Structure 1
Amino acid sequence: MSDLSVGVFRHTHGRLSEQFIEGQALAFQRYRPVLLSRDDVQSERSQIRTFRSSYPIVSLAYRAGLRGAVGGFLADAQVDVLHAHFGVEGAFVRKAAHARRLPLVVTLHGYDVLLSDSALRRSGKPALLAYSIWRRELFADGDVQFIAVSKFLASRAAEHGLDPARVQVIPTGIDTSVLKPTALPEEPRIVHVARLVDFKGTEDLLSAFDLVRKRLPSVTLDIVGDGPLRGHLEAHSRALGLQHVVTFHGALPHAQTIGFIERARVLCLPSRSVEDGGTEGLGQVSLEAMALGRLVVASETGGIPEVISNGKDGLLVPERSAGALAEALVHALDGDGIGELAERGRRKVEEQFDVRRQAALVENVYDKARGA
């Protein structure tokens, strides 16, 4: 590895649903990653430098929205490039990075381009309120390099003023040397991994699962994830009489989540578009399932069709259609040719989404940002 380094910035590293950020950083070959975080967090794989532990006064100012207060922290990090994950982080560090003449790369992952300004303001979160003001300023900055994890997100970013020609589309990768296919279990088990929010479509899945169970009585469903709709969804499950065959496990560490995918025959991602603009930017968990040799049944929405080709390496259905989703799930659990679809899914991940390949593409963007 060369002497070059990159500061990989996220307000809070290590979120259970964002392991791919650290995974990508660890796959770099030419840039040494330095993980930078606003909040005090721990990682079993990396050392993380945080504002709060190193610069408590700076941290307070930063949380109040004084972006210039991070300048000292960035200077002490001694990196050659700053890579902010999500537009919110990019907007916060942009001026401080420019003041230090530190090249800035921003990866857009989803809500940072999908949510409307009004939805950002309605969130009540100071960071999102500020971002609703700063987003167009960030996107108009010609000195910032942008990455989007899907073509869909790149096109949506254009609606907020970001020139598509300035965006490199680089999906997040999967470590295929770690996630390898395992034997399919005999039990007809479905797994759904998602934060329990409206656009993930979990309510549609429960309605579809009720139909599936009428045809495959031994089928079970594991739901891994937590969120504000959990109580409502558990009540919906009870109302359908599914409480003995649907299990809500809550948010789990990544390794345990992978274990649930391995114990299932099918992963379901029934995402949908919602009023505030939210939908699936890419569908990272579908890549993990495909790498493990599991068939994915998903909605044809957002960036998902860039991962799954219907009938070739997975199954896609119209969003919000419980009937179509149920038919696809029955076919995935009990149909012919399913193993071949799953094998094609694994090959696609190996060829197009391996983390080492994707990390090398990101490093090329760092070179461009540095003018190399």
Structure 2
Amino acid sequence: MSKPVSPDAADSRPRLLVLASTYPRWRDDHEPSFVHELSRRLVGRFDVTVLCPHAAGALPRECMDGVHIFRYRYAPARWERLVNDGGIIGNLRHHPWTALLLPTFLLAQLWGLRRLLRAVRPNVIHAHWILPQALMVALLQMVGVRTPPTLVTSHGADLFALRGRLATCIKRLTMHRMQASSVVSRAMRGPMLALGADPDLLGVAPMGVDLQHHFTPDALTPRARYELLFVGRLVEKKGLPHLLNALPRVLQRHPETVLSIAGFGPELAACQHQVERLGLKAHVRFLGALPQDALPDLYRRSSMLVTPFVQARSGDQEGLGLVMVEALGCGCPVVTTRLPAIRELQDGHWPPYLAEPGDPVSLAAQINALLDDPASGKAWVAQLRPSLLERFDHAAVATGYAQQLSRLVTSSADSK
């Protein structure tokens, strides 16, 4: 990691250090960008520095959208495969050799955090995920290193997966040392409290979506009649194999139907083989991983987005599913499954297009129902958009996080 630069004494903004394992490697990367999108919208209120893992082709250090980014190396570049294209849990499952990278990954992050604490002297830390980011802060505290107040945000995988006795114990010890916490959906509040989070300091705050300028409807784009869309990492909890199993039943009723798959991940080869085995090659298109700028047009022209979420064998499941908010923002109806986090989007307007998780028959029935009556889908999306703007637009989300972080800065200053 490049040598950090000391903070500018003339800058009156509080200094915020963001810790994340999922972060764009470069501009327009296909990796999930929600941490960067939040961080860059905090720049007006904070001097923001991010610590995240390095990957092949990424700069060790750069400034992107006013955010100072430091990427720690944990292996030779060609072997830095633990984080990207599937996430840590997905890569560990499908590529067991990546477990060999865990010791250096954790040590490099710990060392990078220690260096930035000295150089940046942050007033507050925002750790995304309990494991490993918040754990790194807790470990430094345990050996006597002074750290600023820390807000930890759980996005789901750290909460729902890694449920063994040792992992749960580590998460409890970590949470005990956090000054505040948040989860991205109300469904996650109970599991977070079970880890010892202070109920008075536990917020429910989703990540945001640009619903005002990017993910917006376009009346000039014609919507296809029989085009299904799947967007997401190709990992177990996203449930793509169940959608592929449902597709033959959809084709029996609507033979013109096609499915476009935008995503990449460790289950890609298995899903491609499944398409061949089911004889679906003429009806399924694998688009690969796409940058965020390519998604709005897909949402605007597709008949619907299908998110066949399931609970993975590890216990991992969707914490919220922002891809649904993106689609709805573009006027695209959604068929999804009955998982706890889905209730976050209901708000009294959710339609009956809810399938049972892992049930291709139920999923096909809901897809067919929407294909039979697209006008009803259009109507409920229009009803839902105002509440989505209020709860999920970047401006509202960034304001909420800024207030939570500012309270930590103020309370820390008052206690000195």
TM-score between both structures, scaled by the size of structure 2: 0.77
Describe how 1:205-216 pairs up with structure 2 within 5 A.
205-216=243-254
| 1:5 corresponds to | 15
1:347 aligns with 2:347: no
1:98-137 deviation per Cα after TM superposition (whole angstroms, max 9, x unaligned)? 8344121111001111013449x8xxxxxxxxx6663221
Is residue 163–residue 315 contact of structure 2 (8 Å, CA) maintained in 1? Answer: no
| 1:136 corresponds to | 172
RMSD, matched Cα:
2.8
Whole-Å Cα distance in 2 between the matches of residues 269 and 362 of structure 1? 27
Whole-Å Cα distance in 2 between the matches of residues 239 and 62 of structure 1? 38
| 1:182 corresponds to | 218
- Measured at CA, do residues 110 and 244 of structure 1 come closer, stay the same or move farther in structure 2, by a change above 3 Å? same
1:39 aligns with 2:54: yes
Displacement of 1:220: 0.8
Percentage identity across paired residues of the two chains: 24
| 2:151 corresponds to | 105
- Measured at CA, do residues 46 and 187 of structure 1 come closer, stay the same or move farther in structure 2, by a change above 3 Å? farther
Displacement of 1:253: 1.7
Displacement of 1:348: 2.3
Amino acid aligned to 2:171? R
1:127-175 deviation per Cα after TM superposition (whole angstroms, max 9, x unaligned)? xxxx66632211122x421110011122122333334443101011111
1:74 aligns with 2:117: yes
Pairing partner for 2:32 from 4, 7, 18: 18
Displacement of 1:322: 1.7
What SS does structure 1 have at the residue aligned with 2:339? coil
Amino acid aligned to 2:110? R
Give the stretch that moved more between structures: 75-84 or 205-214: 75-84
Pairing partner for 1:274 from 290, 312, 316: 312
- Measured at CA, do residues 239 and 167 of structure 1 come closer, stay the same or move farther in structure 2, by a change above 3 Å? same
Is residue 15–residue 120 contact of structure 2 (8 Å, CA) maintained in 1? Answer: no
Is residue 170–residue 361 contact of structure 1 (8 Å, CA) maintained in 2? Answer: yes
> What 5-or-longer segments of structure 1 have no aligned partner?
122-130
Displacement of 1:285: 0.4
Displacement of 1:27: 2.2
- Measured at CA, do residues 243 and 35 of structure 1 come closer, stay the same or move farther in structure 2, by a change above 3 Å? same
1:300-329 deviation per Cα after TM superposition (whole angstroms, max 9, x unaligned)? 103112113586367322212222211221
1:81-107 deviation per Cα after TM superposition (whole angstroms, max 9, x unaligned)? 111111121111334478344121111
Is residue 313–residue 345 contact of structure 1 (8 Å, CA) maintained in 2? Answer: no
Whole-Å Cα distance in 2 between the matches of residues 175 and 4 of structure 1? 25
1:176-199 deviation per Cα after TM superposition (whole angstroms, max 9, x unaligned)? 122211235134211111211222
1:52 aligns with 2:52: no
Displacement of 1:340: 0.8
1:361 aligns with 2:400: yes
> What 5-or-longer segments of structure 2 have no aligned partner?
1-10, 77-102, 412-416
Is residue 299–residue 331 contact of structure 2 (8 Å, CA) maintained in 1? Answer: no
| 1:92 corresponds to | 136
Is residue 8–residue 84 contact of structure 1 (8 Å, CA) maintained in 2? Answer: yes
TM-score between both structures, scaled by the size of structure 1: 0.86
Whole-Å Cα distance in 2 between the matches of residues 210 and 248 of structure 1? 17
Displacement of 1:69: 6.1
Whole-Å Cα distance in 1 between the matches of residues 383 and 150 of structure 2? 37
| 1:371 corresponds to | 410
Displacement of 1:20: 1.4
- Measured at CA, do residues 229 and 346 of structure 1 come closer, stay the same or move farther in structure 2, by a change above 3 Å? same
What SS does structure 2 have at the residue aligned with 1:6? strand
Whole-Å Cα distance in 1 between the matches of residues 169 and 108 of structure 2? 12
Is residue 180–residue 198 contact of structure 2 (8 Å, CA) maintained in 1? Answer: no
Whole-Å Cα distance in 1 between the matches of residues 53 and 68 of structure 2? 10
Displacement of 1:14: 0.8
Displacement of 1:291: 1.0
Amino acid aligned to 1:306? E
| 1:325 corresponds to | 363
Is residue 190–residue 264 contact of structure 1 (8 Å, CA) maintained in 2? Answer: yes
Aligned length: 356
Give the stretch that moved more between structures: 277-286 or 227-236: 227-236
Is residue 8–residue 34 contact of structure 1 (8 Å, CA) maintained in 2? Answer: yes
- Measured at CA, do residues 310 and 295 of structure 1 come closer, stay the same or move farther in structure 2, by a change above 3 Å? farther
1:259-300 deviation per Cα after TM superposition (whole angstroms, max 9, x unaligned)? 322331211111012332111110010111111111111101
Whole-Å Cα distance in 1 between the matches of residues 192 and 290 of structure 2? 31
Whole-Å Cα distance in 2 between the matches of residues 139 and 190 of structure 1? 41
Is residue 68–residue 96 contact of structure 1 (8 Å, CA) maintained in 2? Answer: no
Amino acid aligned to 1:71? R
1:235-264 deviation per Cα after TM superposition (whole angstroms, max 9, x unaligned)? 221222111111122222222233322331
Whole-Å Cα distance in 2 between the matches of residues 69 and 223 of structure 1? 37
| 1:232 corresponds to | 270
Whole-Å Cα distance in 1 between the matches of residues 242 and 104 of structure 2? 43
What SS does structure 2 have at the residue aligned with 1:371? helix
Amino acid aligned to 1:312? W
Amino acid aligned to 2:39? A
